[in-house]
């Protein structure tokens, strides 16, 4: 969800939920899950046309969990994560005044309070972003 503040500037709120099995079979497989609520500011370079490139910066808060569910003796580990720097770039294909879809790339730095101790992790996310803008 994005709130436009002028022709080029906007503030956005995102919710992300990802669950994926990582591994190649056997006891090494684990379920990776992440849920995050993010906040960012965005600058759109163009205000007209169908293609609109943009840059954004922000942060996110949430949880990160590993569950080695395929291993009978392995336990679940989950903890708080604070992504204190999220830099994003993308290209929106605008289909209607308040609706756009397009590729996006994000790089971030996060503090993960893992069960083994706090650590800094780097995140890289590429995907398809769907935007609903107000007003």
Tell me the whole-structure pTM to 2 decimals. 0.76
What phi and psi, each to the nearest 5 degrees, are found at residue 25?
A: 100, 150
Q: Which residues contact 53 (CB under 8 A, 6 or more apart)?
A: 44, 45, 46, 89, 90, 91, 92
- pLDDT tens digit sequence for 9-22: 999 998 888 877 66
- Structural domains in the chain, CATH included, are 2-134 (2.40.160.20)
DSSP 23: S
pLDDT category at 39 given cuts 50, 70, 90 is very high
Dihedral class, residue 7 (left if φ above 0, else alpha if ψ from -120 to 50, else beta):
alpha
- pLDDT tens digit sequence for 64-97: 776 665 555 445 556 788 999 999 999 999 988 7
Nearest CA to 133 among 10, 38, 8, 7? 10
């Amino acid at each position: 969800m994005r709130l436009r503040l002028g022709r080029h500037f906007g503030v956005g709120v995102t919710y992300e939920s990802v669950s994926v099995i990582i591994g190649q079979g056997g006891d090494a497989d684990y379920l990776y899950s992440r849920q995050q609520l993010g906040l960012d500011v965005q600058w759109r370079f163009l205000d007209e046309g169908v293609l609109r490139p943009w840059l954004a910066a922000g942060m996110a808060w949430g949880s990160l969990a590993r569950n080695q569910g395929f291993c009978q003796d392995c336990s679940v580990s989950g903890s708080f994560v604070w992504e204190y720097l999220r830099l994003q770039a993308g290209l929106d294909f605008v289909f209607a005044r308040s609706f756009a879809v397009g590729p996006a790339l994000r790089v971030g730095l996060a503090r993960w309070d893992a069960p083994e101790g706090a650590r800094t992790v780097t995140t890289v996310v590429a995907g398809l972003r769907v935007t609903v803008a107000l007003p």
